[in-house]
């Protein structure tokens, strides 16, 4: 069983260890961070986060039933007038991969989005080569909306980004 807890300063070291090389950091965090990830960037990241009534981003660590951190996930770009948000920065501990934990994390963050934040639409972007993530998002009910071709440049390569979303009625019907 996975539960979400707010990501805080004491979690910085672990996330930095999980963040990987330059390409991997870009894959899971987009352009929000620069390589190498450090405490200063994470301080800015959590600034003004995690106020359920006012923040534009909710930042979580996922913990298992032993209290061990196994992942990181956000729901950001929260627009209360439009009742929309965006899942992002989904990252699993290297030891947690391939065990269904990512699916549980996404289910937990959707519950926050639809129940606590009262959102109507939650979107995300995932690179097309990340097949396990695409499969995870489809499994929990996200629908593909489109493909942004050559959306991100990494060195001499371009990466395509799949745009996906789930609406509150679709989420309710899946439960």
pLDDT confidence of residue 175: 83
pLDDT of 86 higher than 90: yes
pLDDT confidence of residue 155: 96
pLDDT confidence of residue 4: 98
> H helices within 82-167, ranges in order?
101-111, 131-139
Q: What is the mean pLDDT of the chain?
A: 97
Q: What are phi and psi of 85, to 5 degrees?
A: -155, 175
Task: Tell whether pTM > 0.85.
Answer: yes
What CATH number is given to the structural domain containing 78?
Answer: 3.40.630.30
The confidence band for 41, taking pLDDT boundaries of 50, 70 and 90, is: very high
Q: What mean pLDDT do residues 1-23 have?
A: 97
Domain count, the chain: 1
For 159, the domain range is 3-174
Q: pLDDT by residue (tens digit) across 116-170?
A: 999 999 999 999 999 999 999 999 999 999 999 999 999 999 999 999 999 999 9
108 contacts 100 by C-beta, under 8 angstroms: no
pLDDT confidence of residue 113: 98
Q: Give 152's contacts (C-beta < 8 A, 6+ positions apart).
A: 26, 30, 31, 127, 158, 159, 161
pLDDT confidence of residue 130: 96
Token pair 């109507």 is at which residue?
120
Residues of the chain above pLDDT 70, percent? 100
């Amino acid at each position: 069983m996975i539960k979400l807890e707010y990501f805080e300063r004491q979690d910085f070291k672990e996330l930095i260890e999980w963040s990987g090389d330059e390409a991997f950091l870009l894959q899971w965090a987009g352009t929000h961070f620069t390589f190498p990830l450090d405490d200063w960037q994470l301080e800015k990241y959590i600034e003004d986060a995690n106020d359920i009534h006012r923040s534009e981003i909710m930042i979580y660590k996922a913990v298992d039933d032993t209290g061990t951190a196994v992942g990181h996930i956000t729901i950001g770009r929260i627009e209360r007038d439009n009742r929309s948000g965006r899942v992002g920065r989904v990252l699993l501990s290297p030891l947690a991969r391939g065990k269904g934990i990512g699916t549980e994390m996404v289910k937990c963050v959707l519950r926050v989005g639809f129940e606590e934040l009262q959102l109507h639409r939650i979107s995300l972007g995932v690179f097309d080569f990340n097949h396990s993530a695409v499969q995870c998002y489809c499994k929990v009910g996200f629908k593909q909306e489109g493909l942004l071709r050559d959306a991100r440049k990494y060195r001499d390569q371009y990466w395509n980004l799949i745009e996906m979303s789930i609406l509150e009625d679709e989420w309710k019907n899946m439960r």
